[in-house]
Structure 1
Amino acid sequence: MSALTSVARDIFGRVTEIHHLTALLLGAAVRRRELSPVEVLDYYLSRIEALNPQVGAYSHVPVDRAREQARRAEKILGETEDRASLPPLFGVPVPVKGLNMVNGLPTTFGSLAFDDLVGFADDHIVTLLEQSGNPHLGLTSTPEFGLPCYTENGVSAPARTPWDLSRSAGGSSGGAAAAVSSGLAPVAQGSDGGGSIRIPASVCGLFGFKPSRGRVSQGPVMPDLFGLSASGPLARTVGDAAALLDVLTGHLPGDLYRAPAAPWSHAEAAARPPGRLRIARWAEPIVPGAVVHPDVMAAYEDASALLDGLGHEIVDVPPIGGPELVPIFETLWAAMSTASPVPPEREHLLMPLSRWLRERGARITATELLRAHADLQTAVRAALAVSDAYDALLTPTLAEPPAAIGYFHDQEPAENFERQKRFTPFTALSNVSGQPSMSVPLHWTEDDLPIGVMLSGRIGEDHVLISLAAQIEQAHPWIQRRPSIW
C-alpha cells in the first residue's frame, strides 16, 4: 500500500493515519471512494502483523477470506449509484469474538480441547456483519469458554491493555478490547455474560455497551440458555458503538428472548439529547470482601459531578441487590461452564479454573438449578421494582484498576475465582436482570491507566443509555486519549 493510501482526513480535516479515524469516518471515506475497503483492510492487516504479538488481540486472522469480502464490498461500491444509501459502516472491517462460530474458521472457544475444531456454520451476528458489507477482520482472543474476567489461555498469547502491556486487557472480550484500543480494529463485537464487554472496556479505555436481553440474537450455534449473555460493541466513540449495534440487532426464529422494540435506531439515539434524567447511584459492592480502590472512587465521583453539571438529578441509594445474589450467580455460572461438550479424553487439556468450575457444575442437581432460577427471578422482580423508578443507575464498572497479567490466572482455582469476584462486584447485576449497561471511559489515573464508570438502564431502553452516553462524550470527550502504542 502506498503512503498516500495509508492516510486520510479526520473530522477536523487534518491528514491522519487510517487507524486514527473513527469507524464512522472510515465508512464515510469509503462511501465517498476516498478510501477503498481493500486499502482499509490491508492497512489494518499490516498493523495486526506488526503489533498483535505485543497485545494478543487476535487468535486467528483469515487474510484470504477478509480480502475476498473486501473486494466484494469494493465491487458493490462500484455498482451502487446512491452510495449514501449503503450502511454507515459499509466496507469497514470488524473482528468477531472467538466464542462465536464462523463457518470454515478454527473455532477453539479459547480452549486446547477444541484446537482441531473448524466452524461448521455462521452465528447470526457473523451473517449480519457480512450482509452489512463488513469484511471479517479476524477472531479475537478469549479465555477458555469465556468463563474468566481476564484473557489468558493455552491457545494464544494473553490479551494486554495497550495502556500498560504488563496488565490484562480484561475478559472475556479481552482480545476485542485490545484490538480496538491498540488501533488494530476500528470497532469490535464482544459478548457479555457477567461483564465481559464492560470489564475490558474499562481497562482498555473504551466505550463498551451490553444491550438488553434479547436485543441481539445469540443463535443459532451458541444460544444462551441461561439468559445472561448478550452481544454488543466495543468502540472508541459512542457513535461507532451505536452504528455497530444497529448492524448486530436482529432476531432468528426460535430465539428465547426478544427485547422490546426501540422507538428509533441506536445511531439516531446517539444524535438525540436524553432530556433531564433521574439517576440513582451507589458504590458499595455486594460481593463480600470487595473493596473499591480510591482511583475507582475518584472516577465515580467525577462522573457524578459531570452528570449533575449536565442537569441530571443524582440520587444516592443503597445497592440494588445484595450478597444473597452472589451464590445464585455462582450456581448458574458453574452450570454454564458445563455447556461446552468436552470429550472425556480431552478434559485434561482444560485450564485448571475451567475444570474446577465444571466439577462444581456437574454436582448441581436439576432441583438445585431450578431453585437457583426461581430465586433469581424473585430477586430480579424485587430489584426491578426499585430500579425502574430511575432512568439510569450509576456505579463503578470495576472495583480496581487494570490487573497485572497472571494476577488471576496464576492462582489456584478457588483463589482465582475469589479474586475475580472481588475485582468485578458490580457488572453481573445487569446480566442477571437483563438490563442494558455500558462502561464509559471518563477517568485515567496518575499512571495513565483507564478507569471506566458504569451506567445501566431500564430493560428495552437501550436508546436512553446511548443518548446519555453521547451527551457525556460531547461534554467530556475522550477520543484524543491514546496509548503510546499508537
Structure 2
Amino acid sequence: MAAPHELTALEQWQALQRGEISPTELTEHYLGRIEAQDSGLGAFVSVTADAARKRARFVEQLMPRSMPLWGLPFADKDLQSRAGVPARFGSRLMQDYVPAESDDLVLALDAAGGVSLGKTSTPEFGLPSYTETLAGPPARNPWDRSRGAGGSSGGAAVAVAARLLPFAPGSDGGGSVRIPAAACGLVGLKPSRGRVPSSSGINALGGLSVAGPLARTVADAALLLDAMIAPRGGHPQHLYSLRPPGDDAPLLAAAVRGEGRFQLGVMTTSAWDDAYPIEIAPEALAALMVAVDGFASMGHGLEETALEPDDSYVPAFRTIWQAGAAGIPADTPEQEKLLEPLTRWLMNRGRELSARDLAQALAALSAYERSFIRQLSRFDAVLTPALALTPRPLGWYDAVDGERNFAQQVQYTPFTSMVNVSGLPAIVLPVTETGAGLPMGVQLIGRPGGEATLLALGAQLERRLQWQHRTPPEAGGPGLPCPR
C-alpha cells in the first residue's frame, strides 16, 4: 500500500476529509521524513516540529474540515516572516532576526487550514536564480545531488520533489518559482500580477514579485493557489486583489477537468537575445518538442512565433534588479562584510543609481509590458523552454564577479523574467528527462488572468505524459502505511 507521501496533495486532502488520516498523523509522517532525509539535501533552514504538532492539533480540533488546506503540511520560504520563527533571508546578516509579526501570505495559508513545518532555504535575499549561500548548505537537486535546485525557491522545490512536503509556496520575481520547479521536475505556477491578494506584486518594485505554488501535479498546484487567493472561501477582500470579470470558480476545477482546445504559440526567443549569447541546449529543445508533439496530438493549434528585438529591456531590468538590492540593511562596513560578493555588488550598484535612472527603467519596463502582451495576444498561451540549459552543477556560478554571474543566470534562464515584467501568468511543466536522468521542462505563458487556461493545458499534458509517477532517487526513506 502507498504511504501518504506517495499520494498527491489532493489525494492527501481527500484522505483527511474522509477521516482516513488525521492532521496530527500526517504532520508526524512528514516530520519523520524530514528528519531522515533532509540532512544532505538542504531543503530546510529550520524545522519547527513542536509548533507544527501544536498547530496540527489546533486544526484537527478547532478548524472546519471544509477549509481548502485543512491539515495539509507546507513550509514557509525563508523570505516570508512568521511571528516568533527566525527569518534569515538566506543571509549571515540576518542570522539573529526573529520577526514579531507574520506576513500576509503566512496568515493566508494559516487561515486556509495549513500546517507549517518550518522554513525552506533560499539564496541571499532571494536575489539569485540558484540556492547556494554562505549562510548554510546548498539546496541539492533530488535527482542528482551534484546539481543545484535552482532558485530562489530552491529549498521549497527540493522539499516537494523529495516528498518532504505535499507542496510548497514560493515567490517569483524573475523566475524564482518556475526555475527551481523546472530544475527539480515539478509543476511551478507564477500567477498574474494582482491575482494573489497577500503577495500580488502590485506593491513591489516594478511589479515583479508574486507568490505561487510548487507541486508534483497540476491539480496540486491549483489546490494551493486557490488557498492563496481566497483562504476562507469566496472572493478575497483585499486592495491588491484582481480577478477576470465573472471568474469566481476555483482554479482546481480547471485543473481537474483539463478541458478545451487552444491556439498556442511556440517561441524560442527571449528578451535577452541581443545582449547575451543565449544558446538553447539540445535537451531543452527536446523537451520543447515533447510538449509540441503532445499538444498537437490533442488537437491544439500551434504556430511558431518570435519576439521583436527591443534593446530597452536589458538595461532597464538590470537597473531594477540592482535597485531592489539597495535597501538591504547593511549600513556599516562590518555588516557589509557579512554579505556575499554578488549581493554586495548588487547593493552597491543599486545605491549608485539616481532617481532619474530608476524612473527611466520603470518607464521602459512598462512600455515593454505593453509590447510583450501585444505581441502574444493572438495566442491563448505561448510555449517556451523552461530553462535554456540542464540543471547546473553546484559551484557553476561565479561567486566573485557580479557581471559574469549575472550573465550566467541570464544564459541559464532567459525565458522567465520577461513574464514578471509583463505581469502575465506562466506555468512550468516537467515533461521529460535527459539521458542522465535530469528533469527538463517547458513553460506556458498565459494571457492576463489566464491561469485557468494554463491549468487546463497542463492537466491535458500531464494525463498524456504521467510525470506525477516519476520519482527522484532522493524521494526514498521512511513511510507510513496508506491512510486507513
Q: TM-score range by the shorter chain?
A: over 0.9
Give the one of 284, 303, 319 matched to 1:331.
319
Counterpart amino acid of residue 291 in structure 1: E
What amino acid is the match of 1:443? T
User: What does residue range 281-292 of structure 1 map to in structure 2 within 5 Å?
Assistant: 281-287=266-272, 288-292=276-280
Which of 26, 34, 47 aligns to 2:33? It is 47
Task: Give the corresponding residue for 1:111.
Answer: 91
Looking at structure 2, the residues matched to 368 and 398 of structure 1 have their Cα atoms a distance apart, in angstroms, of: 30
Aligned residue for 1:271?
Answer: 256
* Residue of 398, 421, 431 corresponding to 1:442: 431
SS in 2 for 1:456: strand
Report the counterpart of residue 300 of structure 1 in structure 2: 288
The equivalent of 1:396 in structure 2 is 385
TM-superposition CA deviations, 1:207-227 (whole Å, max 9, x none): 000000011134599952321
SS of the counterpart of 1:190?
Answer: strand
Question: Structure 2: how far apart are the matches of 1:354 and 1:452?
Answer: 29
2:145 is paired with a residue of what secondary structure? coil
Contact 1:246 1:267 in 2 (8 A): yes
**Shift in Å, 1:376:** 1.1
Distance 1:28 1:340 in 2: 43
Aligned 8 A contact 1:28 1:88 in 2: no
Q: Deviations over 1:401-433 (max 9, x none)?
A: 000111115452221111111111111111000
The residue correspondences of 1:90-101 to structure 2 (distance < 5 A) are 90-101=70-81
**1:29 alignment counterpart:** 15
Mapped to 1, the partners of 2:53 and 2:193 lie a distance apart of 34
The whole-number CA distance in structure 2 between the counterparts of 1:221 and 1:380 is 14
Match of 2:205 among 214, 217, 225: 225
359-368 or 403-412, which deviates more: 403-412
Tell me the distance in 2 between the aligned counterparts of 1:409 and 1:99.
23
Q: Cα offset for 1:281?
A: 1.1
In structure 2, C-alpha distance between the alignment counterparts of 1:423 and 1:180, rounded to whole Å:
22
Q: Structure 1 pair 120/373, CA: closer, same or farther in 2 (3 Å)?
A: same
Query: TM-score under structure 2 normalisation?
Result: 0.92
Give 1:232-247 correspondences, 5 Å limit: 232-247=212-227
**Paired residue secondary structure (2:257):** coil
| 1:371 matched to 2:357 | no
1:76 aligned to 2:65?
no
Matches within 5 A, 1:131-142: 131-142=111-122
For 1:369 and 1:438, locate their aligned partners in 2 and report how far apart those are by CA, in whole Å. 30
Listed one character per residue, the Cα deviations across residues 318-361 of structure 1 (whole Å, up to 9, x for unaligned) are: 12664531221111111111233333241110110000011111
Report the CA distance between 1:285 and its aligned residue.
3.9
CA shift for structure 1 position 284: 2.9
**Partner of 1:280 in structure 2?**
265
Q: 1:20, 1:134 → 2: CA distance?
A: 19
Structure 1, residues 205-256: CA drift from partner, whole Å, max 9, x if none? Answer: 000000000111345999523210110100001111100000111566553x
Q: Which among 148, 153, 156 is matched to residue 176 of structure 1?
A: 156
What's the counterpart of residue 319 of structure 1? 307
CA displacement, residues 441-485 of structure 1 (integer Å, 9 cap, x when unaligned): 001000110001000101111111111111111122111111112
Displacement of 1:272 after TM fit? 3.3
- Alignment length (residue pairs): 465
Q: 1:212 aligns with which of 178, 192, 202?
A: 192
Q: Distance in 1 between matches of 2:405 and 2:90?
A: 18
CA RMSD, 1 decimal = 1.9
The answer (yes or no) to whether the contact 2:81–2:101 under 8 Å persists in 1 is yes
SS in 1 for 2:207: coil
The equivalent residue for 1:464 is 453
- The equivalent of 2:419 in structure 1 is 430
**1:368 to partner: Cα distance:** 1.0
Which gives a bigger RCO, structure 1 or 2 (Cα 8 Å, sep 6+)? 2
- Say if 2:386 and 2:415, in contact at 8 Å, map to a contact too: yes
Distance 1:395 1:222, change over 3 A: closer
Partner Cα distance (1:107, 1:362) in 2: 24
**Distance verdict in 2 for CA 1:72–1:466, change over 3 Å:** same
- Determine the structure 2 residue equivalent to 1:10: none
